[in-house]
Amino acid sequence: MCGIVGYIGKNKKAKDVVIKGLERLEYRGYDSAGIAFVDNNKLIIQKEKGRISNLKNVVDFNNKANVAIGHTRWATHGIPNKDNAHPHRCGKITIVHNGIIENYMELKKELENVGYVFKSETDTEVACALLDYLYKKNNENIKNTIKQFQKLTKGAYALGMLCDDDLNSLYAIKKNSPLIIGTNNNENYIASDVPAILDFTNKYIVLDDGEFAKITSDSINVYNKNGNMVNKEIKTFDGSAEDINKNRYDHYMLKEIHEQPEVTKKMIDAYIDNENNSFISDMPDLSKYKNITIVACGSAMHAGLIGKSLIEEYGNIQVNVETASEFRYKKLFIDKDTLVIAISQSGETADTLEAVKIANDSGCDTLGIINVNGSSIARNTSKVLYTKAGPEIAVATTKAYSAQVTLLSFIAYNLAKNSKDINEIKEIQKFLTDLNKLPILMQKILDNEEEYRQIAGSIYNNNDIFFIGRGIDYALCMEGSLKLKEISYIHSEAYPAGELKHGTISLIENGTPVIGIVTDKKIADKTISNIKEVKSRGANVIYVTTDNLVKDGDFYDTKVTIPKTNTLLQPLLTIIPLQLIAYHVAKLNNCDIDKPKNLAKSVTVE
């Protein structure tokens, strides 16, 4: 959620590296920024409320410090202001911190009793004071200090730490919050996400929970929770800094919407063997499970609802979709006959990760649908399918969502092709033919962007916008509505079209925009009947349908026609106009599209 960057080395100015890294992490969402660096053997802290540009205005970039840590904060404890911003310093210890120390109030009282005075409202300052207290108590032994800190604290943390007594070292501590160590010749880094360091290196080490590291310019020593040194694999990131540039686009979100055909092609190449009508990678055999539970949050949960509809329809397996943040606290009916599928773009979503751990403890097999190789959820699930979407920078997901839906359609197809209902070779070949045409059809929709810009121009001044649909179209409505509200701040709701008459139709007033989605032939007439109901009450209806289901009449104001494709793949086309309408509504309202207020890209705290 927040961003951490640290540098220690002989080749670069530490402040330049850290500020550049923080700018690369702006997509994660934040409300203040700060940096700590060494100047004439003294540690200097500078921090400001608001954007990194505010911090850059006060930083002296002529300083040639070779070690620094920096942070972008997303407020959890205490309002966004300079006092609550990171880094925090107590005694000889300075830290930046992602996560939440759950028992910080008890620790704070104990520390106040021994003389510590706190300037902020944060749990981070308490963690810093605890480290300083333990450092003194342990005769200034850093390793024992960190081991004891880990035993006393509850919750999640990724910590970057500097100690006045050893300003030629940088420390990293990790539990339930992502933290990596980047490495290069005579210089090393810490970061909460790989994109922060891609301008400098693509080599990195993933810290596991309970591990901590002592890092110098030419060494990285990693220890487990018992203080024993462990060997770590140096990974290579599959990508470059160019992948996280906007190129010719005004916003990352628009770039990522337009990358969807390319991502789909990558997934076809990665998973499908067209010559042999089979999957290149072994898809998991789901036929042995009596039921499937999908756990996810936000757009990933909406992708799960699409997966539920497809798997139940074509795989004949019951699927439950659970919001991960609720899954942890409810009575569960899962066992060895249940497959739990965890969907997460980052692979670090805190609630989804905890759901995976619960599923593992319950004896379930687990499957991760993840975009980030080697992430926490990937490491904790029995099997992983990667979405191949590449770095997604905009907070509002588009290409990663589509990639998740694509993998779920592969799973449904794999179940279907092995069943007696669809085992004819021509049916298998038709899916593959339609799949290979999909990137072309996606591009066809993207080429009509002016049409969606005009629709946005007709609704962007409204205070309320509604989406209606049935079945799989309702799941698409939920995602379309979320895209609109999270980046434009317009109140938007999605409703099952058949439920309107049970109360919610009372919300429709003259001119209220209603986006009605009709792509399922079996229930098209029913949904159109519901659209007529809102139209008769004055709604401004935007009718989204496939070219084989188009009906003319006076029940809509604007019609969006999308190409018909294989039913398993149709959602991947239907979502694109909804993404572009949301984008242009937000743009017309001068919203900060890539960094919507109060939101963060990776939600790594509960």
In-domain check, residue 217: yes
- Is residue 173 within a helix (H) or strand (E), and if so which, with residue range? strand 170-175
How many C-alpha atoms does 206 have within 13 Å on its Cβ side? Answer: 19
Do 143 and 282 belong together in one domain?
Answer: no
Q: Rounded CA gap, 435 and 290, in Å?
A: 28
In-domain check, residue 237: yes
Residue 408 confidence class, pLDDT cut points 50, 70, 90: very high
- What pLDDT score does 27 carry? 67
Among 437, 471, 504, the domain-final residue is 437
Do 286 and 433 belong together in one domain?
Answer: yes
- What pLDDT score does 29 carry? 65
Q: Rounded CA gap, 341 and 330, in Å?
A: 17
188 pLDDT more than 50: yes
In-domain check, residue 604: no
- Is residue 452 within a helix (H) or strand (E), and if so which, with residue range? helix 449-459
Give the tens place of pLDDT for each residue, 7-65.
999 889 999 999 998 888 876 667 888 999 988 888 999 998 888 888 888 887 777 78
Q: Cα-flanking dihedrals φ and ψ of residue 205, to 5°?
A: -120, 135
DSSP symbol at 181: E
Do 291 and 414 belong together in one domain?
Answer: yes
Q: What is the CATH number of the domain that holds 355?
A: 3.40.50.10490
Do 223 and 184 belong together in one domain?
Answer: yes
Q: Rounded CA gap, 295 and 351, in Å?
A: 9
Residue 518 confidence class, pLDDT cut points 50, 70, 90: very high
Q: Rounded CA gap, 168 and 411, in Å?
A: 51
Do 321 and 412 belong together in one domain?
Answer: yes
Q: Rounded CA gap, 141 and 454, in Å?
A: 65
The answer to whether the beta carbons of residues 527 and 499 sit under 8 Å apart is no
In-domain check, residue 343: yes
In-domain check, residue 528: yes
423 pLDDT more than 90: no
Q: Rounded CA gap, 387 and 397, in Å?
A: 13
The answer to whether the beta carbons of residues 340 and 334 sit under 8 Å apart is yes
Do 297 and 165 belong together in one domain?
Answer: no
Tokens representing 559 are 């019609």
Do 58 and 197 belong together in one domain?
Answer: yes
Mean pLDDT, range 425-448, rounded to an integer: 88
Tokens representing 130 are 């605890």
Q: Is 451 exposed, middle or buried (0-12, 13-18, 19+ CB in 10 A)?
A: middle
Mean pLDDT, range 253-267, rounded to an integer: 95
Among residues 108, 255, 564, 601, the one annotated as catalytic is: 601
Residue in 181, 191, 601, 204 with CA at minimum distance from that of residue 391:
601
- What pLDDT score does 350 carry? 85
Do 399 and 455 belong together in one domain?
Answer: no
Q: Rounded CA gap, 69 and 80, in Å?
A: 20
Do 182 and 269 belong together in one domain?
Answer: no
* DSSP string for 186-241: TEEEEESSGGGGTTT-SEEEEPPTT-EEEEETTEEEEE-TTS-EE--PPEE-SS-G
DSSP symbol at 6: E
- What pLDDT score does 428 carry? 67
Mean pLDDT, range 314-333, rounded to an integer: 91
State which of 75-79, 409-413, 422-426, 571-575 shows the largest mean pLDDT.
Answer: 571-575
The answer to whether the beta carbons of residues 585 and 484 sit under 8 Å apart is yes
User: For residue 573, what are the domain limits?
Assistant: 448-593
- What pLDDT score does 240 carry? 63
Q: What is the CATH number of the domain that holds 147?
A: 3.60.20.10
Q: In degrees to the nearest 10, what's the CA dihedral of 317, 321, 326, 327? A: 30
What residues contact 23, with CB distance under 8 A and at least 6 apart?
52
3-state helix, strand, coil in the chain (%, to 5): 40, 25, 35
pLDDT cut 70: percent of the chain above it: 95
The answer to whether the beta carbons of residues 111 and 103 sit under 8 Å apart is no
Do 204 and 90 belong together in one domain?
Answer: yes
351 pLDDT more than 80: yes
Q: How many domains does the chain have?
A: 3
* β-sheet bridge partners, residue 38: 43
Instruction: Please report the beta strands in 74-139, taking only residues with DSSP state E, as ranges in sequence order.
Output: 88-90, 93-101
**What SS3 state is found at 279?**
strand
| pTM, entire model | 0.81
Do 266 and 236 belong together in one domain?
Answer: no
Q: Cα-flanking dihedrals φ and ψ of residue 52, to 5°?
A: -60, -30
Task: Assess whether 2 carries a catalytic annotation.
Answer: yes
Q: Rounded CA gap, 200 and 182, in Å?
A: 9
Torsion sign across C-alpha atoms 576, 581, 582, 583: positive
**Rounded (10°) angle between helices 123-137 and 104-113:** 50
Rg of the chain's alpha carbons, rounded to an integer? 26
- What pLDDT score does 602 carry? 54
**Rounded (10°) angle between helices 123-137 and 142-152:** 130
- What pLDDT score does 596 carry? 84
Mean pLDDT, range 504-519, rounded to an integer: 89
Give exposure, 352-378, as e/b (b: 16+ Cβ within 10 Å): bbbbbebbeeeebbbbbbbbbebbbbb
- What pLDDT score does 604 carry? 47
Q: Rounded CA gap, 41 and 43, in Å?
A: 7
164 pLDDT more than 90: yes
Summary count for the chain: helices (H), strands (E): 17, 27
Least confident of 95-109, 204-218, 268-282, 536-550: 268-282
pLDDT cut 90: percent of the chain above it: 66
Least confident of 96-110, 205-219, 331-345, 420-434: 420-434
Do 81 and 212 belong together in one domain?
Answer: yes
Identity at 310, one-letter amino acid code: L
DSSP symbol at 61: T
Give the tens place of pLDDT for each residue, 561-598.
999 999 999 999 999 999 999 999 999 999 999 888 76
State which of 361-365, 371-375, 552-556 shows the largest mean pLDDT.
Answer: 361-365
Q: Rounded CA gap, 595 and 28, in Å?
A: 8
The answer to whether the beta carbons of residues 182 and 201 sit under 8 Å apart is yes
Among 437, 456, 486, the domain-final residue is 437
Residue in 336, 340, 347, 302 with CA at minimum distance from that of residue 319:
340
The per-residue pLDDT of the chain, averaged, comes to 90
In-domain check, residue 248: no
Q: In degrees to the nearest 10, what's the CA dihedral of 121, 123, 129, 130? A: 150
In-domain check, residue 137: yes
Q: Rounded CA gap, 87 and 96, in Å?
A: 5
Among 412, 437, 462, the domain-final residue is 437
- What pLDDT score does 374 carry? 76
In-domain check, residue 603: no
Among residues 2, 90, 128, 591, the one annotated as catalytic is: 2
Residue 239 confidence class, pLDDT cut points 50, 70, 90: low
404 pLDDT more than 80: yes
Residue in 198, 196, 153, 195 with CA at minimum distance from that of residue 176:
153
Mean pLDDT, range 259-276, rounded to an integer: 90
Task: Assess whether 308 carries a catalytic annotation.
Answer: no
Place of tokens 């959820």: 377
